[in-house]
Structure 1
Amino acid sequence: MSPGSSAEEVFAGGGEMGALMRSIDWSKTELGPVDAWPPALRALVGVVLGNRFPMVIRWGERLLQFYNDAYRPVLGDKHPAALGESAAQTWAEIWHVLGPLHEGVLRTGRAEWGEHFLLTICRKGFTEDAYFTFSYSPIPDGFGKPGGVLVTAQETSSQVLGERRLHTLQQVAASSFRAKRVEDAALRAVQALGENPHDLPFALLYLCDADGQHASLAASAGLPPGTSSPQPRLGMEVFQEGGALHGALQSRQPLEVAHLAQVLRAELVVEGPRAPTHAMVLAMEGAAEGSPAGFLLIGLSVRLEYDERYRGFMGLVAGHISTAIANARAYEEEKRRAETLAELDRSKTVFFSNVSHEFRTPLTLMLGPVEDVLASDRLEREEREALERVHRNGLRLFKLVNTLLDFSRLEAGRVQASYQPTDLAALTVGLASAFDSAVMKAGLRLVVECPPLPAPIWVDPEMWEKVVLNLVSNALKFTFEGEIGVALRWRAPQVELSVWDTGTGIPSEELPRIFERFHRVQGARGRSHEGSGIGLSLVQELVRLHGGTVRADSTPGRGSTFTVTLPAGSAHLPRERLAAPRTHAPTSPGVAPFLNEASGWLGTVRPLSGSPEEVLAAPEVLPQARSQASGGHILLADDNADMRDYVRRLLETRFTVETVADGAAALAAAEARLPDLVLSDVMMPGMDGFGLLREFRANPRTTAVPFILLSARAGEEATVGGLQAGADDYLVKPFSTRELLARVEGVLRLARERAKRERLAQERADFEQHLIGIVSHDLRNPLAAITLSAATLLRRTELEERQRRPISRIFTAAERANRMIRDLLDFTQARLGGGLPIQPKALDVHALSQQVVDELQAAHPERVIELERGGAGQAVWDGDRTAQVLTNLISNAVHYSRPGTPVRVRVFEEGAQAVLEVHNEGAPIPATLLPRLFQPMQRGESEANNIGRSVGLGLYIVDHIVRAHGGQVEVRSVEGEGTTFTVRMPLTAGARAGGERRDRHG
């Protein structure tokens, strides 16, 4: 016996397979005793057993097998029977493929090789698709001929399946990326699934209907021709507890296809060796309140093991489709929201037009008689001061209203400029010099340096007037000593306007926000705290319309400088607006309101005269959302310099890209400047991509920043790991330019949409609060001064009749304006703020109704108002709001009742409700107007029809107040019988939910 020929020596080591071979009595096999084996075989068996790579020896004519521990998983349940057995018998199901390969190696002595080779084998109790990379090499028998075949094999099923499934996920994302409709996204996503029948034999996508009770078939793939169509609509009960599909949905375990076909009443598959026998039922997330957006029914391949990888792939498929559906649904909702906002914008345009007209009337009726009376030289000092106060506040009201309406028009993009070649120096000198007297009275010096310019400048003179007046007025407001300067200089090819002061200055942290609408510097020392906070924002918008810019420089305690830069010429302006006619009435109030306001700051009471008709403004709509700017700031972290440069070049045409070499540097860069998106390699020295991602998600400042991981690791495990760690996307290298840009833009778009919705919601809330505050304070204050002054004059017994009449008209007009402002405030609160708040308290309804009737009877002595009361008259209501309801309804009835006919008011009880009834015998309300009676009216719809003339808000406010008390309003209007408004409210107001309104007419 030669050395190393015994079984113990040949099979020494080798792990479990070595032990198994040592336990076999080889003398009883066809190979005979081990010491009789050819030396080449004995030597190679020892080499194979000691190797950690999967290897198998197939020896002799029958290709008897010897293999190591690493090869055992390839055999599955064929081990240990395969040891010493013929390869043809072990692999009978694929020997038609393997047999010729072995014969070729033995015949020619040349090796064979294959990569990712598909073999359909049976090693786990079912026929399975498996992939291998292998090498077949001849083994010499010692006599110059091959005695067998050495097989080196590596199973690559996991790699092949991972790449195939990753490609499917990429196809789903890419195909549905640009879908703008839910139906389109569903169809594209499922079509992409249909391109991978090896993993997904068929797919059915059901989306939940809006009613929440049904799910409708949105798309299907993989059903052979001739297959009966599945149920187009399923009741949600099949997915809920006790339903036919609930168990499979909850457990995520395979469901028999036959059972699924029975539920769907369809033949899902045909007969065949690859026909799926089981399917998965998956819920798709993304709907509101945690309810599913739909359900995905996917067939499982009979040639693949349903393991954790397969289960994870199914979850990713459902997740990708959920994202695609959610993106499309968000786009549809945004589109609907935009259409709603556009409709609201049109309604607001009409509404503000009506408001402007209605403000013009009472203001004209106030200022006209005031100027007539002031022109008289018979007024005593006290009387003149009172009327001057009325005139000054009236002009201030003009300025405030016009500023608000101008800004609304600008924000809505509805301003049409009319650019004219203008001697800008002369115009600016005239505007600035008008402040000379006010500046002198303030103890300051006015410096005006506006030399002639070499050429006329194309501007809208009215807009330029607003720019200069706002800047100079603002300087005067915040300057207490020193000077105010206005300079206009030629800076070819531009012209530059500078307005400087030596005032209180602006803190550096406030400068970035100084041009924001409604932003006011906190704690700033000025001559007055009043103001809308939109003057500088208006200046910025007007300058932008001219293609220019405005900036502010300031040092606290030393003053501020505002610099406006306009391009010369007209090439930068819209050609159609050059010397174009105006489409709106002029809105510039002139210098008078600014100087009157300044005189109030300086304690000067002498007003500057001016015709009211010259300062009235035409209103427009509230601001609408601006479009999101493209691009963004991307932070790229990758330790490979070439990769950093490559990705930077791909992205820098559309984005600002900042590159760093590791995770720690990325954190420092994000601290210095918060990025819009992070692209990070996974493998980096120090802090890797996953560590960087964890740091970002743990920091409240960066937790919402979109994050995309880049990696050379393919396969679904890597993708799942990245997404589970919190990444927004996972991109495998190498990637194409289109894929990278599509992923980055998609993630940025979703992040911006979320931020945009949050910002718009916050801006709208801020705007509503500011609007209500501005109107309440800055409109009511001057009117209060006017009303009190007029009332003081009317109480003077020595006042002559010719003086009393115009003052009485002033008082009446001011009261009318006051009521209108109250209605506008209530309208704003109800329309934008969500409703009208009430403060119920114990109330004597009889006493309140008598008080309202007495006041209105005194105001209308020529009309008869009859009051009938019944019941106890006790309720728990908001007394002020109830008085507002009665006042609006009775005033409306008084106005539209025929001369000589009374207005009848009844207050009584019906069970647990109180009834307020107002009747007049005027012309009936047309039936076409009844459905819109309690909405804000348009002008021209209310002529002689029992509807208030102001801005159509009276009945709208009545309806909201009544519904806030849990009541309802009814109206009956019949020819020959008149019109009756009936209010029914529970005696105790405990809920804001209103009843249904009933419109009755004959």
Structure 2
Amino acid sequence: MVRNFKSREYPGRDISLHSHRLAEGGDMASPLDAREPGPVALEETGEAQTLQAPELQAGDWSYLQDGTFGPMAAVIGVFGLAIIVFEQQLAALLHLSSPGVWLSVLGLCLMVTSVGSYLLGRYHLRAADWALVSGTAATTLMAAAWWPDRGFLFFLPGALALAIFRMGAWHALWLLTLLGAALESPWLSPRLFWRSGQAPVLVGALGLLWLIGWIDWHRRSELLHFFARAYQYAQDQLRTVREHRMVLNQTNDELLHAYGEIHRLNKLLQASRLEAEAARRSKEDFVANVSHELRTPLNMIIGFTEMIMNSPSTYGPNLPRALLSDIRVIYRNSQHLSQMINDVLDLARVEAGQLILSRNWVDVRTIVQEAAQAVQPLFISKGLFLRLELPTQELTAFCDRLRIRQILLNLLSNAGRYTDTGGVTVTLQSRENHLVCCVADTGPGIPPQDREHLFEPFHQPHNVDRAVAGSSGLGLSICKKLVELHGGKIWVEDREGPGAAIAFSLPLKLPDSGPPPAVGWLNPYRTAELRQHAPLPKLPGLRDRYVILEQEEMLRRHFAALLPEAEVIRVESLDQLQAQIAELHPTALVINDIDAMEDKRYSHRFQSLPERMPIVSCYVPGRKEAMEKLNVVEYLVKPIVRQELLAIIQDIVGPGSTILIVENELEMALLIRRQLENADRGYRIIQVGDGREALTCMRERRPDLILLDLALPDQDGYQVLREKNLDPTIQGIPVVVISARDPVGEPVMVGRLRVELVGGLSSRDIVRGVEAISQAFSSVHRSAHPASPTVSSD
């Protein structure tokens, strides 16, 4: 849009007074524009306006002159008024020979010149300039003519300077010529003029004017062009600033919109996180409860079928061969179902972060040899070869020996099941700080369309008969999770010819601390390949060091799994603890002891602890500690094996002993009773179904051994054990717990945490501690999680 402003027209130029918006919230007047005739144009788009710079020409000083005309006219008028008012004083001061009334005439002339030129300037500024300069010069000549001996011509250079500033040097020269002609007029006495000494003044003024004119002629054009360029540059900068301001305003609007979107997405993320936390908690509950819900009936199926196969005479003298054959089929499929349940639970524990690795430096060659020896009967029965290609030098990796053996057993079992002719070759080698193990078979191979989904749960190749293979489809998925927990990768290698080759890698050195590997957004069983950038050199960071006082390695294994970048040191006694503190200067001291939780002055047993060292006390019992705390001699997790149960009982009691079975499920109690009766050791069996009846039977019958299930209807097995341990008459009876729950594998392991600081806690320490704990447990509080651990500080 173009906005036009009205301007006053003057001959030869256009002088327009305008203002433009400089910044939001304030206006600033611009200089006067002197240019060719035409209106001022102001382009504006939205809030940003662009001012067109005027075309300045040489010899045009109007942008400096227009603002000074009024003050100059006013000064001349005031000077004339002062002459009229102080006429007598000036006449006496100047010793004028003529009457002083002529001073009033001079003052009146100056006032008339001032007022007249000001009024004329409202219509024609150039004519007003001529009137002001000519009137001032004429008044000066009149004073010089009336009083030639008083040197009034000395005021003439001021009038000429005014003429130069208002009209230019050449106009002043024309005025000087006219004044010179007036000085030669008859009514001025040349003799008096030269005698009074005013001639040098006039000659000097004339020379000065010619010099100024010559300089003005050569330099004024360059000066004006410099001002014009500076003015244009200022306008360009103003235009740039306005454009930047417009972009900044637009960016601010976009940022506000983005902030609103981020706030909305944060709310959605928080809601999604709560849902994910609830889902995770449900998965943990499933992992904790599926043992009892699935393993208990499965244990009865396996137990009864095993008894029928091993002791058929218990159910009759001659059982039909077809029945025994069917029992073997039931037993074999029950074992397969039990293995599949174990695989599902392992996979759920890995995804829930509950599977703890017990890492040590081991030679992987020995693990490969053990796994090959374990599956050798399968290969012998099918007439297959099993070849190991192992390096001669030692290949040591920091890994969990049991889990690596599980990976190799899965791969070798799959290869043996799917291969009918030929065999399997296992190669082990080192590649770029990684250990690579490859299991290659001569079976039907893996179709290309199945390779992408091979490591997903319950997936099997299309060219494999599930009934023949006898696989659940979870083995490779579990292998992938276990390999990734070790910081490695697993993949299908491309090879020529028949068969398939699956390889996995393990790091040969401790990995640097960093973010966990990313998973696919749509499919969590595919690892997302991130774009790699050039690594920046980094200094080695300081590792946190924790010293843990505990009798078993339960808490140390959790620290090593959840804080792989930290250094964890376990000690078993106070003397070892004192030595490690003095030598290693740990970050924190962790005490895994029930006495430390109950004794508030437990930390005073330590001597010369470093200042500001935190002491964290908790109780995470290991398997032996859990049994000691419960005062039980053994803890069996369902499903139990008949030979294992009988071996444990034989180690505790002798033949003919009285055994109390506390089990609320009649089928499970019947299975245990049958297993004990078929042991041919003359055991006397007592069977009860709840906790109160069990305590009564203990006090009345005094059994030699108690087989206790923890899931009872009236009160759980923990309450039964507490009441038994409080009664001195029955607390010495040995107890074997038979349960579907693992005491050291529950999601919630401890209900209380205690924190102490050597030197005491300040208010700042308390606030920071509460903040850190709130951030650590915030997701737990927002979900429907049970009461989180309470923290007490002393």
TM-score, length-normalised on structure 2?
A: 0.39
Higher helix fraction: Structure 1 or Structure 2? 2
Larger Rg: 2
